[in-house]
A and B are shown apart, each in its own frame.
Chain A
Amino acid sequence: MPQPEFIQERLESLNAVDNQLLSTLLHASQAVGTIEELKRGNENMKSQFENHIRSFYGSLEEATVALRREIRHLDENVGTRLLPINVNKKAVGQDNEKMREQFEHLEHEAS
């Protein structure tokens, strides 16, 4: 498992946020569509219009709340799991890996 669970969770919730945002957009377009219908005189669209608007605000709210939570997670983890901004990650440990690998080979040969 290359990534620990915590990270997986975070990624999944970020994906969910993305989908929420998308559906917000969809609801917006639906709302505008229903307004248009209303303007034409199609009165019975009123309830639909309400629904669409409500779902727009609903999904927007959910997305916002989730994003806020994510940002808070980021904040909490900067010192521990995440590096601070201006430090570059270095690929250390590769020499150990190679050494280990060669010792294994040696062992294999010697046996």
Chain B
Amino acid sequence: MAGEEPQANGFRSDSTYKKPLAIDPNLIRPVPSFASPTADSDNDHKDDQSQPSTGVTQPLVNNPYETFGNMPLDQLIPLILQSRGPGTKFADLTEESLMEEIMKDAPLPQAQQDSDGDLDMDGSQLTNDPGQRTPEPQQIEGPAQADEDAVLSQEQFRQLKASTVQSLNLAVNESSLALEFVSLLLSSVRPSAANASMSPFLKKTVPPASLNAEKIPFQKPSSDEVLERSLIAKGWKQRSLEESRTLLKDSYLALEKSLKKEHSYWSKVSHNISKKDVVFKMKDRETGEKSLGIKYGYEDSGSTYTQERGIAVLRHNSKLDNLELVPADRQQANALGKENNEKFVRVRIFTKIEEEDDYILTGESHLDKLLIPNQVAGEQNDFRRQISRLKFFIFEKDLMYQLKRESENLISYGVSIENENKITIEFPTEKLELETMHVNDDVIMNHQQDAPKTNDRKATLVLIMLRMLLVVIYKKQLRKKLLCPQTSIGASAKSPKVHKVVGRLQDNEVLLLRPIIGKFKHESYVSLLKKIIKGFVLDVVEGSSVRKVENPSNTVTIKDEVVYDNHIAKLDKEIHLFDKILEMPRSDLLVETPKAGTILFLLQSSNYCNATTGVKYTNGAGETLFDTSFSNFKELEDFLHFIVSEYVSGGQENGVKYE
């Protein structure tokens, strides 16, 4: 049971109510509890009187009997005189006048009931009464309690606790002593029962049947005594009943309030959370309450981004509705301003101006509609919109992070990381810029006011493709996890270091920029190759033509084996959708000459961005004379020149094969 109210012995917090004390509570040693502020002005003097036995600096129970009883007379009398006002003499106090005064106080108890509803709930009562309850109306009452608790310092609390424990021990001792006594008494009459109830210590020290009792004639208490006792009993019971009723009523009111709040919270939660959302119990770091959190990050869907946790707290704002925040990382960064964390990726295309050797902005990607503040109000929309926004931002952050990682390895191909928010890719005629922008009004306004430019669409398409490729990476991760769960789980058991590696994406798995750049570069290589061919073959040799040849070997062999799991099959299908995008670029060009055979150019790339050209010269007789590859276009030119001059134009055949 909770150690609760001090009211057992009396002075109430309500100053209008004073029931005369029937008995000195110290005779019974009630469980001490929190001090009740009394209206008695004499309290100031009580502080001088210490309670040495319990060792508590702050008297728990302002027990007038104790304090006044222990006070020496020469202090007590002046106090009494003081409280009665100046000019009274002690000799004037008579029993009759005192009795009258007491009678006057008696009718006051009625007032108690009226003040029922108005009884200002003491803070300590709130923390005690729905005592076990307060930690549980999770985030609702938490902040209010903090103030009340500050009243009682840690030190005081410890002392109170110690004194409580001491009193409890005392009670236990007393009751066991009583038990011992009784069982010893009993031992002379019924040894078996006594043996069962006596403690081993007693059995050793005192021989059984050594205590006897004799009857002494019962002194019937006088009727006065009986009356008095029954009065006391009645009064005591009355007061206890009243107290119990108050307790019940107060806890009812408190519970009602908190229950209302809870009901509203749960109804809002149930309206806004769908079956698919992952909601769980967690501790809200900011307020310290237990609360519900929702997971919005992409972790379970294949992401390996560990810099943000992707969890938001469903906090109850009693005035409006749910608020959401991201845990610790966001809350720490809150000091810097909320805007800081909302960033998105923007793609810009700049076209080179030949004359000025400068770039102008020709295209910019569209803003996602989530970023534009929405006028549509509506509770559900707002909530889901918040979740969508959070998802969007964490995705963008992941995207930029992976892009940066990838760009580190692509420096030799014209990709440079200008600062932590910007990646620039240079092409012969264009420049591509990927940048993370903060969400603020200027950006949005500027975008909406800008006139549409020619390459806007292309920029947007590039951005969309980047996002889709990131999702493809997620799916590949998922598939890997599904297909070989041991690598991720077993590894962690053996060596945590390995686990980390498995968790993070390998460098060659991050394929965001490379396919896109690769495609661009490939096109330019093809045109370059065509120019070279034109220059060295077509113009030189008459009647020659060039055409593009389909490369047969590039189709990915679809596994014929049956995949047993639907999920893996689905993932496979989705990943295969992007095969064309993700495949290594390759083009074959065939130059046919009327008499001297054909030259097959095989332009491909090993990492999307570089280019190797394979040259295969088959002469008119069908023999393959050359089959080499070059990574340098200058060498290719020279070689081509050599072939053409030696074999094609000259028309002479050389039997020697060069490998």
Residues of chain A touching chain B, judged by Cβ–Cβ distance below 8 Å, are 2-4, 7-8, 11, 15, 18-19, 22, 25-26, 28-29, 32-33, 35-36, 39-40, 89-96, 98-99, 102-103, 105-106, 109
- CB-CB nearest 8 A-B residue pairs: A29-B248, A95-B301, A90-B300, A32-B245, A94-B301, A2-B274, A29-B249, A91-B278
Chain B hits for A2, CB < 8 A: 270-275, 380
Chain B hits for A33, CB < 8 A: 245
| CA gap between A98 and B388 in the complex, in Å | 10
Query: Closest chain B residue to A104 by CB distance?
Result: B464
**Are B300 and A92 within 8 A (Cβ)?**
yes
| CA gap between A94 and B299 in the complex, in Å | 9
**Are B274 and A102 within 8 A (Cβ)?**
no
Query: Closest chain B residue to A33 by CB distance?
Result: B245
Query: Closest chain A residue to B473 by CB distance?
Result: A95
Q: Choose among B252, B278, B457, B471 the residue that contacts A26 (Cβ–Cβ < 8 A).
A: B252
Known interface pairs A2-B273, A8-B270, A95-B478; 8 further A-B residue pairs with C-beta atoms within 8 A, sorted by A's residue number: A19-B259, A22-B252, A26-B249, A29-B248, A32-B248, A91-B301, A93-B301, A99-B468
**CB-defined interface of B447-488 with A at 8 Å, one 1/0 digit per residue?**
000000000010011001001100100110010000000000
Question: For window 63-85 of chain B, which residues contact chain A by CB distance below 8 Å?
Answer: none
**Are B234 and A39 within 8 A (Cβ)?**
yes
21 chain-A/chain-B pairs, Cβ below 8 angstroms: A2-B271, A2-B272, A2-B380, A3-B270, A3-B273, A3-B274, A3-B275, A7-B270, A19-B259, A22-B252, A36-B245, A39-B237, A89-B278, A91-B278, A91-B299, A91-B301, A92-B301, A94-B300, A94-B301, A95-B478, A102-B471
| CA gap between A11 and B302 in the complex, in Å | 34
Q: Choose among B242, B271, B380, B468 the residue that contacts A102 (Cβ–Cβ < 8 A).
A: B468
Task: Give the distance to chain B from A28, nearest Cβ to Cβ, in Å.
Answer: 5
Chain B hits for A26, CB < 8 A: 249, 252
Task: Give the distance to chain A from B5, nearest Cβ to Cβ, in Å.
Answer: 15
Given A11-B270, A91-B278, A95-B471 in contact, is the A28-B248 Cβ separation under 8 Å? Answer: yes
Whether a CB of chain A sits under 8 angstroms from the CB of B42 is: no
Query: Closest chain A residue to B247 by CB distance?
Result: A29
Q: Choose among B244, B251, B471 the residue that contacts A99 (Cβ–Cβ < 8 A).
A: B471
**CB-defined interface of B236-259 with A at 8 Å, one 1/0 digit per residue?**
011001101100110110011001
Task: Give the distance to chain B from A41, nearest Cβ to Cβ, in Å.
Answer: 10
Whether a CB of chain A sits under 8 angstroms from the CB of B46 is: no
**Are A90 and B278 within 8 A (Cβ)?**
yes
Chain B hits for A99, CB < 8 A: 468, 471, 574
Q: Which of A22, A26, A98 has the most CB of B within 10 A?
A: A98
**Are A91 and B277 within 8 A (Cβ)?**
yes
**Are A95 and B474 within 8 A (Cβ)?**
yes
Given A3-B275, A25-B248, A25-B255 in contact, is the A91-B295 Cβ separation under 8 Å? Answer: yes
Chain A hits for B478, CB < 8 A: 95
| CA gap between A99 and B275 in the complex, in Å | 21
Chain A hits for B241, CB < 8 A: 32, 35-36, 39
Query: Closest chain A residue to B458 by CB distance?
Result: A109
Whether a CB of chain A sits under 8 angstroms from the CB of B280 is: yes
Task: Give the distance to chain A from B203, nearest Cβ to Cβ, in Å.
Answer: 45
Q: Choose among A39, A93, A98, A105 the residue that contacts B238 (Cβ–Cβ < 8 A).
A: A39
Question: For window 271-312 of chain B, which residues contact chain A by CB distance below 8 Å?
Answer: 271-278, 280, 295-302
| CA gap between A57 and B598 in the complex, in Å | 102
Task: Give the distance to chain A from B92, nearest Cβ to Cβ, in Å.
Answer: 36
Q: Choose among B251, B263, B457, B574 the residue that contacts A25 (Cβ–Cβ < 8 A).
A: B251
Chain A hits for B270, CB < 8 A: 2-3, 7-8, 11
Chain A hits for B242, CB < 8 A: 36
Given A39-B238, A93-B301, A95-B475 in contact, is the A32-B464 Cβ separation under 8 Å? Answer: no
Query: Closest chain B residue to A2 by CB distance?
Result: B274
Whether a CB of chain A sits under 8 angstroms from the CB of B393 is: no
**CB-defined interface of B209-232 with A at 8 Å, one 1/0 digit per residue?**
000000000000000000000000
**Are A94 and B259 within 8 A (Cβ)?**
no
